[in-house]
Amino acid sequence: MMRQYELVERVKRYNPSADEALLNRAYVYAMMAHGNQKRASGDLFFGHPLEVAAILTDMKLDEATIAAAVLHDTVEDTEATLEEINKTFGPQIGALVDGLTKIKRLDLVSKRAAQGENFRKLLLAIADDVRVLLVKLADRLHNMRTLGFMPPEKRKRIAEETLEIYAPLAGRMGIQEMREELEDLSFQNLDPEAYEAINRHLHELTAKSEKLVDEIEQTLTTKLKAQGIDAHVSGRQKRPYSIWRKMERKSVSFEQLSDIFAFRIIVGTLDECYRALGTVHTSWPMVPGRYKDYISTPKQNDYRSIHTTVIGPGSQRVELQIRTQEMDEIAEYGIAAHALYKEGVNDNSRLATESRAYQWLRRTIDLLAEGDNPEEFLEHTKLELFHDQVFCFTPKGRLIALPRGATPIDFAYAVHTDVGNTAVGCKINGRMSPLLTELQNGDEVEIVRAEGQTPPAAWESLVVTGKARASIRRATRAAVRRQYTGLGHQILERAFERAGRPFSDEKLKGALPRLARVSAEDVLAAVGRGEMFSGDVVRAVYPDYKEERRTGTETRIAGEPDGAGEKSSGEQSSGIPIRGLNKDMPIRFAPEGGAVPGDRIVGILTPGEGVTIYPIQSSALADFDNEPDRWIDVRWDLEFGSTQRFPARIKLQSINEPGSLAQIAQVIADHDGNIDSVNMKRRTQDFTDVTIDLTVWDLKHLNAIIAELRAKRVVSRVDRITG
């Protein structure tokens, strides 16, 4: 266990002006508070916060963060109080400890929805001071290092959570060294056999390649020195988890991997980075497609470096990373490498301008205000955490960073939510392209928009960014709500008309307290969804109204189409107009047989689904005879010359002989019918029952098809099914 003077010495090595008295007070206070508490390993508990502090001293953090790390478990696990911490160490350290205590109380290993809510709380806890996150990550790292003392089931749960949330979060903050160790420790606990197998291969390869690595280091150093570039070249072996992921992603064996070793070239200046690149590329052939310049276009976690792969000495593929010392520090320690914390200054506004990683964190926290539920928020944030990036440009030259695999739809939403919602097409590098095209580095993307457009719900499963998914989901919900609101308005207009009472939004607003709704739109949407019956609204607006309950039989009469029966034009106009499956109203047709123009129809209101249209002769309507409030007067209202098709179902008995099904299909095709599905069942040795779902223009079209089928020798009987 680290002694008191050792902690102080570790901090003063990189910050000679550190507050030694503060560190001593924190050490003694935490040691006395934890007393003889033990961890699962049997070691004194106080050793854990000291190890967390040691991890943070390696990252050269300020003394306030180190003191908070030493104290981070005192409020939660001892009798110490936050008031005491504030009084003894000041409000800054008190705020850090308070944020860590809130996170400690979260049980992220839980059901998905609860995990999402807790992840939201975690991000909110670090919103005010990102140092809370740095201490939490160090805390998780030490816990993972000592995970072997936990029961197997708990080890698995904690390792999964670390791999899903904490490791990628460390990566997004640019702390690559910590991310890699968290990934390896999780991998070791989740799949120990695979971990050991890869480790064994790595040890064998290291023993074989030791001379080759030395040769490449010396050759690179010599060539760079000849060009006047003083560089530090070091080869490093890739980590087990990153190798495992590459093997899975590319479906290759360990032996097929050619870039197990990566070489880092650290130079003095930005200019030397590009001079070193020129030296490398003029000395050895470059592997096409393996050059990336993260200096001119840094990653969102502030990572800056040049990546290239060449065919080096011994015809070996050599992966190189070229950067300055400052870039290397940021690559290793990310947001913790900023001089801001080394100075002991807590100024997030300065950090926000300095750190793209912190800007990403703030944008992610801003998503909390968008109203997504916790499960969706966790899903979206994981999408943001796990993907590598591509860099694209708007026509005006604005750089947009997106996850790899992103489409122009993701690009549109990254530019602005309104641009995404109204997108109907795109140009990539000046050429019209599908909206689902996968974007590549350097693409210039122009979004073609149409005002009034609503994004299709199917887009949600096609995009890869959390922002796009959240925006599409919100737009879809808003569109569905508008549909239900419009339907509810029409239902209420006709309900008030039948009751002989005037209807207006003002009268509806006056009845809101009796309807227990906040707004008139809420009432309309509830009526449209079937959660509130129109009669209840009429009685809420007019308490003296006495409704005469209608029977299902009386209600059925109201759905006769134009030109059918003896209905008056006044009766006909009272029904809600039905145009088929469109965006204006949440309508669907009876699942067993559908309905077509020319049928007398009736609508049944189903909570959460809108209105289902049935032909008046459908036997399924008997199920709703005792629910008169669900019956809705509807009528066909198609534009002249409409070619929209509607669903119908027919059942045939056909003779079992070769080509009979082909003859049936030919009749339907000759009459321009469209077959959706066919189901066949052998009735006897000589006959087969054939059920066909098809779409037609109207009743006349359907009857013509049925008549032609009946005339066929291979068909003994044809009937329409209406449920």
Residues annotated as part of the active site: 76-77
556: helix, strand or coil: helix
Nearest to 355 by CA among 520, 477, 173: 173
Burial status of residue 480 (CB atoms within 10 A of its CB: 0-12, 13-18, 19 or more):
middle
Instruction: Note whether 98 and 82 are within 8 A (CB).
Output: yes
605 forms beta bridges with 611
Instruction: Note whether 692 and 675 are within 8 A (CB).
Output: yes
CA-CA distances (angstroms) from residue 641 to 658, 672, 719? 39, 15, 28
Reading the block at residue 303, the tokens are 């990572």
End-to-end CA distance of the chain: 77
Measured in degrees and rounded to the nearest 5, phi and psi for residue 598 equal: 110, -25
Strand pairing of 261-267 and 292-293?
A: unpaired
| Count of Cβ atoms closer than 10 Å to residue 359 Cβ | 15
How far is it, in rounded angstroms, from Cα 418 to Cα 214?
Answer: 55
Helix spans in 146-191 (H): 152-161, 167-172, 176-190
Reading the block at residue 515, the tokens are 């309807």
DSSP 561: P
Measured in degrees and rounded to the nearest 5, phi and psi for residue 230 equal: -85, 105
One-letter amino acid for residue 551 of the chain: T
Instruction: Note whether 31 and 7 are within 8 A (CB).
Output: no
Q: Would you give the distance in Å from CA 494 to the centre of its chain?
A: 42
How far is it, in rounded angstroms, from Cα 329 to Cα 266?
Answer: 11
Strands (E), 196-331: 232-237, 261-267, 292-293, 306-311, 317-324
Torsion of CA 658, 662, 664, 668, to 10 degrees: 180
How far is it, in rounded angstroms, from Cα 612 to Cα 621?
Answer: 11
Torsion of CA 241, 245, 248, 254, to 10 degrees: -50
Element (H, E) at 705: helix 699-710
Measured in degrees and rounded to the nearest 5, phi and psi for residue 57 equal: -70, -35
**How many Cα atoms sit within 13 Å of 180 on the Cβ side?**
13
Strands (E), 458-600: 576-578, 587-589
Instruction: Note whether 372 and 379 are within 8 A (CB).
Output: no
Instruction: Note whether 479 and 583 are within 8 A (CB).
Output: yes
Three-class HEC string of 417-478? HHHHHCEEEEEECCEEECCCCCCCCCCEEEEEECCCCCCCHHHHHCCCCHHHHHHHHHHHHH
Size (the chain), residues? 723
| Count of Cβ atoms closer than 10 Å to residue 451 Cβ | 6
Burial status of residue 610 (CB atoms within 10 A of its CB: 0-12, 13-18, 19 or more):
buried
| Count of Cβ atoms closer than 10 Å to residue 665 Cβ | 14
Strand pairing of 587-589 and 610-615?
A: parallel
